[in-house]
Amino acid sequence: MGDTPRLGLAVTTFNRRDILLRSIAAWRQLTSIPLELVVCDDGSTDGTIEAVRALGIEVLGGVNRGIAWNKNRGLWYLANARRCDVIILSDDDVKPVLYGWEQEWIAAVARVGHVNFLPSNYFGALVLPDYPRAANLGVSYMVGGMILGQSAEALSFVGYMDPRFGRYGHEHSDFSGRFLRAGFGGFGVVQENGAVRPAFYVIGGGVELVPCKSTGSAEDLDKNSKLLGAFREDPIYRTPWRDDAEMRAFQAEVGASYLARLSPPVPFGSVFSPQDYLARNKDIANAGEPGLTHYLRFGHAERRKGGVVPPP
């Protein structure tokens, strides 16, 4: 991770327009380094999408598919389309309260790969210390999932939230548990009965929760609690989809805006002339580099002229 890592923040939301807009204003005001900010919307009907796009912020989704799917939109986009080194995933009811909040998260992620936020009402689950920071990480038997951070490297081992968790509940517990199994973000603690209990690294992180009503249901939470146990021994790495139909739907949602901004090195139906490319780029010709090789490796990205010509 470089001296100034590329930082990405994905904020997930559903019908909380005003709360979201206040959080966005705080993220923008209190972040001290460049920030890739994206909003993942799970089918809001209260004008959220229009309001966010009016701010010039990318919006992913717009279709209600549940919290696990919605969070995966942001994880995939920041990891693959924006190539971020540190990826923060936050609910819309979280906001920063300190300028430079991101420094704690970047430092913690650099240390352990994956870190969770622990709100004050969860302190009963905290082992130590009373006020966890990146330099003095807290250890907790419980994670809230409101905001969590991970490095792109750690994410490459773990993948995404399991879409089988559907609408609400425990998707973050499974996610953090898989980081732990992969060697990031925590460790196991042997109990007196010989069972191993997961312990997660947590920080305060310069953020706080905004009181608001949950859209989840007790039925969803109970169902996903059972799924959490059923999935415990599944492979660590999970894709954002479970079958080909879900894959096509996910890629259409998340990849479309990214791919629309790209163009292939040689447009379909065109012809590439190495001779024309070298004739218009004398420095490449003088270096003795083959025209097609240089164009594909460097020239297209450098927006070099020449080479692509109409078909005969």
Residue 210 lies in a domain: yes
Q: How confident is the model at residue 78 (pLDDT cuts 50, 70, 90)?
A: very high
**Do 84 and 6 meet the contact criterion of CB atoms below 8 Å apart?**
yes
C-beta neighbour count of 4 within 10 angstroms: 10
Residue 72 lies in a domain: yes
Give the domain range for residue 122: 7-260
Same domain as 228, residue 97: yes
- For residue 267, give the DSSP letter: -
Q: Where are the beta strands (DSSP E) in the chain?
A: 7-13, 35-41, 58-61, 86-91, 94-96, 114-117, 126-128, 138-140, 147-151, 186-190, 196-203, 207-209, 271-272, 308-309
| Residue 292, SS3 per DSSP | helix
Q: How confident is the model at residue 220 (pLDDT cuts 50, 70, 90)?
A: low
Sign of CA dihedral 287, 289, 292, 295: negative
Tens of pLDDT, residues 22-58: 999 999 999 999 999 999 999 999 999 999 999 999 9
Same domain as 170, residue 276: no
Which of these three, 238, 260, 282, is where a domain ends?
Answer: 260
C-alpha–C-alpha distance, residues 96 and 22, integer Å: 11
Same domain as 291, residue 174: no
Same domain as 289, residue 232: no
Phi-psi region of 251 (alpha: psi -120 to 50; beta: other; left: phi over 0): alpha
Residue 1 lies in a domain: no
Same domain as 217, residue 296: no
C-alpha–C-alpha distance, residues 58 and 54, integer Å: 10
Same domain as 279, residue 241: no
- Whether the pLDDT of residue 129 is over 90: the answer is no
Residue 265 lies in a domain: no
Which of these three, 219, 238, 260, is where a domain ends?
Answer: 260
Tens of pLDDT, residues 119-128: 877 777 778 7
- Whether the pLDDT of residue 100 is over 60: the answer is yes
**Pairing between strand 147-151 and 114-117?**
antiparallel
Q: Which position has the token pair 């913690």?
A: 108
Residue 43 lies in a domain: yes
**Do 71 and 12 meet the contact criterion of CB atoms below 8 Å apart?**
yes
C-alpha–C-alpha distance, residues 193 and 81, integer Å: 46
Same domain as 181, residue 39: yes
**Do 43 and 60 meet the contact criterion of CB atoms below 8 Å apart?**
no
What integer is the mean pLDDT of 11-17? 96
Same domain as 204, residue 115: yes
Mean pLDDT computed over every residue of the chain: 90
The 3-state secondary structure of 187-249, one letter per residue: EEEECCCCCEEEEEEEECCCEEECCCCCCCCHHHHHHHHHHHHHCCCCCCCECCCCCHHHHHH
Same domain as 117, residue 148: yes
Residue 2 lies in a domain: no
Of residues 238, 243, 220, 224, the one with CA closest to residue 175: 238
Buried b (16+ CB within 10 A) or exposed e, 195-208: eeebbbbbbbbbbb
Q: What is the tally of structural domains in the chain?
A: 2
Residue 297 lies in a domain: yes
Residue 266 lies in a domain: no
For 155, 157, 161, 179, 260, the CA distances from 237, given in Å and listed in that order, are: 9, 6, 9, 9, 28
Q: Domain of 218: which CATH number? A: 3.90.550.10
Same domain as 201, residue 287: no
This prediction has a pTM of 0.81
- Whether the pLDDT of residue 1 is over 60: the answer is no
- Whether the pLDDT of residue 193 is over 70: the answer is yes
Same domain as 246, residue 162: yes
C-alpha–C-alpha distance, residues 259 and 264, integer Å: 10
- Whether the pLDDT of residue 149 is over 90: the answer is yes
CA 120 to chain centre: 25
Same domain as 166, residue 112: yes
Angle, alpha carbons 149-218-119 (nearest 5°): 35
Q: Is the peptide bond before 129 cis (omega within 30 degrees of 0)?
A: yes
Tens of pLDDT, residues 242-291: 999 999 899 888 877 677 777 788 888 889 999 999 999 999 999 999 99
